[in-house]
Amino acid sequence: MITSIINSNVTRKNHIAKMVMKRNPRVIGIYRLIMKKHSDNFRESAIQDIIKILKKENVDIIIYEPMLKVNKFDECDVINNFKDFCEKADIILANRWENELTDIKNKVYTRDIYYKDL
């Protein structure tokens, strides 16, 4: 059963990366590294595995994560200004939906279709 769960998670991450790449982005924005709203934990976040998959596609990846106080994370630029982040990204991959994404929803790809964290 554990092997099936692991395989399912790998398949899901690859699917998300494939769906993002179908939009032919030059710059992919990663909106938040956290796993859950109001969390400060992103050490084991699945989005990090998706970043690794996307990095193989030879596209620029930028990250918006206000919790980070560094300029780089996993060799990706960290942009702490939300407006600048949105302007630079061709597509924004969001682990969880948040209301501040509403105005740019045409750029957002998320699997959080039920808005569970709102």
What is the bridge-based pairing of β-strands 72-73 and 76-78?
Answer: antiparallel
- Which pLDDT value is given to residue 38? 54
Q: Which residues in the chain come in under a pLDDT of 50?
A: 117-118
Q: Report yes or no: 59 and 25 within 8 Å, Cβ to Cβ.
A: yes
Question: What is the pLDDT, as a whole number, of residue 97?
Answer: 86
Domains identified in the chain, total number? 1
Task: Give the CATH number, domain containing residue 102.
Answer: 3.40.50.720
The parent domain of residue 38 ranges over 2-110
What does the pLDDT read at residue 63?
A: 97
Neighbours of 96 (CB within 10 A): 20
Is residue 59 one of the residues assigned to a domain?
yes
pLDDT of 118 reads 43
Q: Model confidence over 28-51: pLDDT tens digits?
A: 999 998 765 555 556 667 889 999
Whether residue 17 lies inside any domain: the answer is yes
- The per-residue DSSP string of 25-67 comes to -SEEEEE---SSTT----TT-HHHHHHHHHHTTT-EEEEE-TT
Answer yes or no: is 39 within a domain: yes
Q: Please report the pLDDT score of residue 85 as a whole number.
A: 98
Q: Say how far apart CA 8 and CA 25 lie, in whole Å.
A: 26
Q: What is the model's pTM?
A: 0.86
